Amino acid sequence: MKLLVDRLKDSPTPLHFDEDRRWRSDLEESIPELAAALAAPIAVDLRVHRMAQDLYLEGSLRGELELECGRCLARYRAPLSESFRLILSPAGSRVPAEPEAAEALARNGMCLGDELETGWYQGHEIELGGFFRELVALAMPVQPVCREDCRGLCPRCGADRNAGPCGCEESRSNKPFAALAALRTRGEG
Ligand SMILES: [Zn+2]
Ligand SMILES: [Zn+2]
């Protein structure tokens, strides 16, 4: 998933990348949870052009996630779609302060800033795999939920409340109405 710097022009060049074996094995090594959650290979469409010395990348990354619902514990699939914009400036003689970023710049020909929207590049080849990995990590939901209205598991009996009400849920939710009905009866009587 390499960007060949010398081929880029002032007008946008459309590019397409599919996940390759190396990217997957790197991901399995560096962030195994993420590799496990990625249920389908990622695909990236982007357009790159030069703006003076800078490289301007814009596109989207797509894939599919398989996650465990935090409420009902069911496994479910969800589409992964993350758009991005990235401006890479030539590193020149600058060296990133963070050792990780410095290593990435030396190894991949690019390193990212804090916001994933800017970075530095050097050399003629830029390996974008690390950037794509950051995008996937960013797209991972912090609290996965199979659907907005998932009712989750009953904290008392552990039944899946999506399948229907369990006994304990009914007795609890009926209480306020029972109390209300009692009040009304007393008021009327
Ligand atoms: Zn759920
Ligand atoms: Zn229950």
C-alpha to C-alpha distance for 131 and 112, rounded to whole angstroms: 8
State the distance from the centre of ligand 1 to the C-alpha of 74, rounded, in angstroms.
6
- The whole-model pTM stands at 0.81
C-alpha to C-alpha distance for 49 and 12, rounded to whole angstroms: 4
State the distance from the centre of ligand 2 to the C-alpha of 148, rounded, in angstroms.
21
What is the sign of the dihedral through the CA atoms of 179, 180, 181 and 186? positive
Polymer length of the chain: 189
pLDDT of residue 19: 95
State the distance from the centre of ligand 1 to the C-alpha of 134, rounded, in angstroms.
26
Report the amino acid identity of residue 159. A
Ligand index nearest the alpha carbon of residue 143: 1
> CA angle at residue 65 from 88 to 44, to 5 degrees?
35
CA distances from 174 to 97, 112, 168, 177, 186 (A): 61, 55, 10, 5, 18
Ligand index nearest the alpha carbon of residue 69: 1
Give per-residue pLDDT as tens, 73-104: 999 999 999 999 999 999 999 999 999 999 99
User: What stretches in the chain show pLDDT beneath 70?
Assistant: 169-189
Ligand index nearest the alpha carbon of residue 75: 1
pLDDT of residue 189: 44
pLDDT of residue 176: 56
State the distance from the centre of ligand 2 to the C-alpha of 155, rounded, in angstroms.
7
pLDDT of residue 55: 97
State the distance from the centre of ligand 1 to the C-alpha of 171, rounded, in angstroms.
23
- Return the closest-CA partner of residue 119 out of 129, 131, 132: 131
Distant-in-sequence, close-in-space partners of 39: CB < 8 Å, separation ≥ 6: 63, 64, 65, 66, 77
List, in sequence order, the alpha helices (H) in 114-153: 129-139
pLDDT of residue 54: 96
Distant-in-sequence, close-in-space partners of 10: CB < 8 Å, separation ≥ 6: 49, 50, 51
State the distance from the centre of ligand 2 to the C-alpha of 186, rounded, in angstroms.
31
Longest pairwise C-alpha distance within the chain: 90
pLDDT of residue 3: 95
State the distance from the centre of ligand 2 to the C-alpha of 22, rounded, in angstroms.
47
Ligand index nearest the alpha carbon of residue 159: 2
Ligand index nearest the alpha carbon of residue 147: 1
